[in-house]
């Protein structure tokens, strides 16, 4: 199902039950609203799926925010786009009738970066997040509050874009904001692997008793 009358072009697939979790699927550069739907179904088969398309184009490729160079983000644009995405989640929750308190982000690369930005600037929007190949999106001027959020950060040991120090910097920033962060380092580069998916599926299952997450 898609509805272009909302503020993002997107796909929405309702959950198996009205009280189930909704996965917010956030694609990488050059992806679209269809890319992560199979991944979402693999991770939580009965969850709802909300998958927006990034509204920024880089040489014709959709992204969620602008960058000035590889790994150098346009922070003002990032903050604006993060606010727009947060507003869209609330808009979609009202339109489709899912519980906005049970939204878990699953993001890859550029999508993981804007999910991290949501955690640092609009904490109440996400119950938890799975961040595949994420970097520090920005460093808040004031100490952020991500208290109560559970975050899985899954990065590649040989990723040419994200050195190990960057992974630890992001984990440290989220922890200092009060998030419960699990770091998994994969024997891989920037691409997603079956091990990423298996570990994320198990991690999501482990959240259910503690946070009322329902698949």
Kindly list the catalytic residues. Answer: 109, 159, 190
* Cβ-contact 103, 128 below 8 angstroms: no
CA distances for 174 relative to 107, 179, 183, 198, angstroms: 16, 6, 11, 23
Coil, helix or strand for 30?
coil
Q: At how many degrees (to 10) do helices 164-176 and 110-121 cross?
A: 20
Backbone angles phi, psi at 120, to 5 degrees: -85, -20
Distance, CA of 55 to CA of 66 (rounded, Å): 10
Which residue has tokens 């580069």?
189
Which residue has tokens 């939204």?
103
Task: Give Cα 29 to chain centroid, integer Å.
Answer: 13
């Amino acid at each position: 199902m898609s509805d272009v009358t909302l503020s993002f072009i997107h796909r929405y697939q309702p959950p198996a039950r009205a009280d189930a979790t909704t996965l917010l699927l956030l694609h990488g550069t050059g992806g679209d609203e269809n890319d992560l739907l199979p991944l979402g179904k693999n991770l939580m088969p009965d969850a709802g799926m909300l998958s927006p398309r990034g509204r920024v184009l880089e040489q014709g490729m959709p992204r969620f925010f602008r960058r000035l160079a590889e790994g150098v983000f346009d922070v003002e644009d990032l903050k604006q786009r993060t606010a727009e995405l947060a507003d869209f989640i609330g808009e979609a929750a009202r339109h489709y009738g899912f519980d906005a308190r049970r939204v878990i982000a699953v993001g890859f690369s550029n999508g993981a970066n804007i999910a991290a930005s949501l955690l640092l600037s609009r904490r109440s929007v996400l119950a938890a997040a799975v961040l595949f190949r994420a970097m520090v999106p920005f460093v808040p001027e004031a100490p952020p509050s991500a208290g109560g959020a559970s975050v899985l950060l899954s990065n590649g040991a040989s990723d040419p874009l994200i050195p190990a120090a960057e992974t630890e910097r992001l984990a440290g920033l989220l922890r200092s904001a009060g998030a419960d962060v699990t770091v998994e380092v994969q024997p891989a580069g920037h691409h997603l692997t079956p091990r990423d998916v298996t570990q994320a599926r198990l991690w999501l299952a482990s959240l259910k008793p503690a946070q009322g997450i329902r698949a």
